[in-house]
Amino acid sequence: MSFNGTEKDGVAFADGDDDIEHDIETDAKGIGHKFFGSSKKRTTVEQTDAVSDQRIPRYKPGRNVASGGFRGVAVIINNEYFHYTTGMNQRMGTKADEKHLTRLFKKLDFDVKPYTNVTTTDIRHIVENAASIDHSNYDCFFMVFLSHGDNGAIYGTDGKIDVKPLTERFVGKSCPSLIGKPKVFIFQACRGDQHEEPVVHADEDTVDGIDNEVVVDAGVSPTLPNASDFLFCYSVTEGFFSHRDTLYGSWYIQCFVEVFEEELINRGRESAANQDILSLLTFVNYKVAEKSVERTRNPRALGKKQMPCFLSMLTKKFYLVTKE
């Protein structure tokens, strides 16, 4: 899937347009748990009784999907501009992320609710409204944060707000209509102040005639709710920068949309029925890991990499098969 072609909603997608400039940035400090750094010796346990797909149950689709309705609600919180007191830079390219995610979620039968440039108070109200919806006839819930973040917090346009109370609003006792259903949270933000170092050379396609740059986003480290059926997707592992192209959007969201559209939409329902979400996210990780910074105003960032990750508390296989 290519993001080149036309210019819509202020976001350019063009081949050979010499007048278009874009850049690669990073989203500030990050979200999540530490996955590396343990000095404990690791051992390998031989698996003698392999778990087959038949033994792992699947989440049941919602009733509305079969009858032609929505699969669920997908909330997108997209912050590009920030008050000067926050010290956060404009997140150029994030409009492309919102546009592509909105298109994807609509194709996957979601009721998409996008919000742009919202304050911390706005974010609380958005989360409260989403958790108060009756999800009884839906089979899952998605919430995407496109913003800066810092140590367990996400940025509204006017400052930081803790992530933990936001995600906890969707645990069973607070949102009973989502009990036993997948609740997916996606964070496009940095999770530290280091660049991933390349260990093997990986070629990346370039766009001729376009002077783009890679920048970084500031990121979040949320404390996660103690509940099942949650899935947390992070654009980068903790401690590292998350890269965003100032014209085409973030690496992670580009690859996320590319993989999900190709495997779940373009290849048809039969393909979607055999591609659970964790397999798709692993493919997204692979696609992002192939990339490297080629255009940037920061020479120290040239050649640097990015490694996404996800944390699953799902208890069943999760498939996103579109309605017939």
Active site residues: 148, 190
Q: How far apart (Å, rounded) are the C-alpha atoms in residues 93 and 86?
A: 20
DSSP assignment, residue 236?
A: S
* Residues 162 and 153: beta-carbon distance below 8 Å: yes
Query: What are the Cα distances from residue 141, in Å, to 12, 122, 127, 151, 182?
Result: 30, 19, 12, 25, 6
Provide the β-strand partners of residue 192.
Answer: 239
Place of tokens 């390998």: 44
Q: Rounded to 5 degrees, what are φ and ψ at 183? A: -125, 110
Interaxial angle between packed helices 251-260 and 94-107, expressed in degrees from 0 to 180 and rounded to the nearest 10: 20
